[in-house]
Structure 1
Amino acid sequence: MKHALIFAAGLGERMRPLTEHTPKPLLPVGGKPLIVWHLERLAAAGVHYVVINTSHLAEQFPDALGDGSRWGLRIRYAYEGSTPLETGGGMLNALPLLGNAPFIAVNGDIWCDADFSTLPAEPAGLAHLLLVDNPPQHPHGDFALGAQGIVRDEGGDRLTFSGIGVYRQELLQNWREVISEVAGAEMRPPRFRLAPLLRAAMTTEAVNGSHHRGAWTDAGTPQRLAQLDTILRG
């Protein structure tokens, strides 16, 4: 895989006051911005081209990251306007910049030690999700991972979606049919979450996954960010 998308458009409401003047993915942790950990791992996995979704304090991203050349990457920015488009709308908005091949997508507010090169370059179905053990703040998980790597919305022992996945553009091909009743779907560009599309694809066993048993943190609150910083600084 040569292309990747990083979701970095959120308002960071749970991270206030830290995000009043700094976008969440640019908050420092372990000595560098959170998003830089992703850029380094993507570059190490052979990714050459990264699209970053932006909205809140969008102007700070090119100032901090430039064109990506310091990591051997080419960075493009997909501005969503003053209102973030959520994960589904954000991915749809970025598709014209991502080409036709499958791509990695990463939430900008998580930290994970997963090796991106181990993700499948070609998902068996429409998407491949990296799942992790349920953290204390999310004990019931999101999805069930079957023995054959099929991800289901119900049944079995549930795991948490890490915010890291590999996607085919076809996942969004019929997005209107799935989320037409969702508030924000009528916006231009539309605003909607990716989860309904994934759940719809799961009904036809078109979503696969794998269980990452290494380190992962949803750095979505000041407390969890501080804990992660302490861990990374050793």
Structure 2
Amino acid sequence: MKAMILAAGKGERMRPLTLHTPKPLVRAAGTPLIEFHLRALARAGFQDLVINHAWLGQQIEDHLGSGERFGLSIRYSPEGEPLETGGGIFRALPLLGDEPFLLVNGDVWTDYDFGHLCRPLDGLAHLVLVDNPEHHPRGDFQLVDGRVSEAREGEPSLTYSGIAVLHPRLFEDCQPGAFKLAPLLRQAMAAGQVSGEHFRGRWVDVGTHERLADVERLLQAEV
């Protein structure tokens, strides 16, 4: 299975760190965020990786290179302008092939074992969901009997972790340009084509300076 890391965001809420450094290269306890994913992917047995980028993206290519030092083969999907999540994936599909692929947001930190996702895909997507964090208390979706659906008012919900397996067929009616992934997932959910799992391990959406500090505290506790 191939993997893709989404790394095209500008990280505006993390300025001034991201004024001259792309968000995936912002460091937590001395290590660029994206490197935690690369090492975890290699440990899980992944070899082929695609990374999209836009803001200061050449820095990402210069830092990671071919991926050989991580035990990976990295190919890049540069975007002249940000294409949002769905558009960025659609642009990279020629590099990902015709089989399901792992997708992970470059701005999350987690100890999730990506090896759990190396199994046949039941439908068009499989989402890893987590408990709702303080900054997103209403959550995104419901998980019932292994299937994911739209969250309903007043019923228990979970948050999409930014980790998924997607089938290229999810994008078969799409056109080049900027568009979001969420509407495609909701359409597939309505057709019963999205499975999911509840991950209860460590996970941080590193969208602010405060949450970056949370990651550093978790890493320091390991020492």
8 Å CA contact retained: 1:50, 1:75: yes
1:133 corresponds to 2:131: yes
The aligned counterpart of 2:214 is 227
Per the normalisation by structure 2, the TM-score is 0.95
User: Any idea what the Cα deviations from partners look like across 1:117-136, whole Å, max 9, x if unmatched?
Assistant: 11153210000000000000
1:48 corresponds to 2:47: yes
The aligned counterpart of 2:144 is 146
The aligned counterpart of 1:183 is none
Q: Structure 1: which 5+ runs fail to align?
A: 177-188
The aligned counterpart of 2:63 is 64
Tell me the distance in 2 between the aligned counterparts of 1:123 and 1:230.
35
Tell me the distance in 2 between the aligned counterparts of 1:31 and 1:233.
11
Tell me the distance in 1 between the aligned counterparts of 2:98 and 2:66.
22
Tell me the distance in 1 between the aligned counterparts of 2:57 and 2:11.
13
Tell me the distance in 2 between the aligned counterparts of 1:206 and 1:166.
12
> 1:59 Cα deviation (Å)?
0.8
Identical columns (%): 54
8 Å CA contact retained: 2:147, 2:195: yes
The aligned counterpart of 1:27 is 26
The one of 193, 210, 213 aligned to 2:197: 210
Aligned AA (2:114):
F
The aligned counterpart of 2:183 is 196
The aligned counterpart of 2:169 is 170
8 Å CA contact retained: 1:51, 1:77: yes
Tell me the distance in 2 between the aligned counterparts of 1:121 and 1:78.
26
The aligned counterpart of 1:113 is 111
Relative to 1, partners in 2 of residues 1:4 and 1:46: Cα closer, same or farther, differing over 3 Å?
Answer: same
Q: Which runs of 4+ in 1 moved over 3 A?
A: none
Tell me the distance in 1 between the aligned counterparts of 2:174 and 2:91.
12
**Alignment partner of 1:21: what SS?**
coil
Tell me the distance in 2 between the aligned counterparts of 1:160 and 1:120.
22
**Alignment partner of 1:175: what SS?**
coil
**Alignment partner of 2:128: what SS?**
strand
Aligned AA (1:217):
V
Per the normalisation by structure 1, the TM-score is 0.91
8 Å CA contact retained: 1:175, 1:197: no
> 1:110 Cα deviation (Å)?
0.3
The aligned counterpart of 2:7 is 8
> 1:94 Cα deviation (Å)?
0.5
Tell me the distance in 2 between the aligned counterparts of 1:88 and 1:142.
17
1:18 corresponds to 2:5: no
The count of aligned residue pairs is 219
Tell me the distance in 1 between the aligned counterparts of 2:88 and 2:117.
22
Aligned AA (1:146):
V
8 Å CA contact retained: 2:109, 2:203: yes
**Alignment partner of 2:57: what SS?**
coil
1:88 corresponds to 2:75: no
**Alignment partner of 1:20: what SS?**
coil
Q: Structure 2: which 5+ runs fail to align?
A: none
**Alignment partner of 1:140: what SS?**
coil
Aligned AA (1:212):
F
Tell me the distance in 2 between the aligned counterparts of 1:140 and 1:77.
35
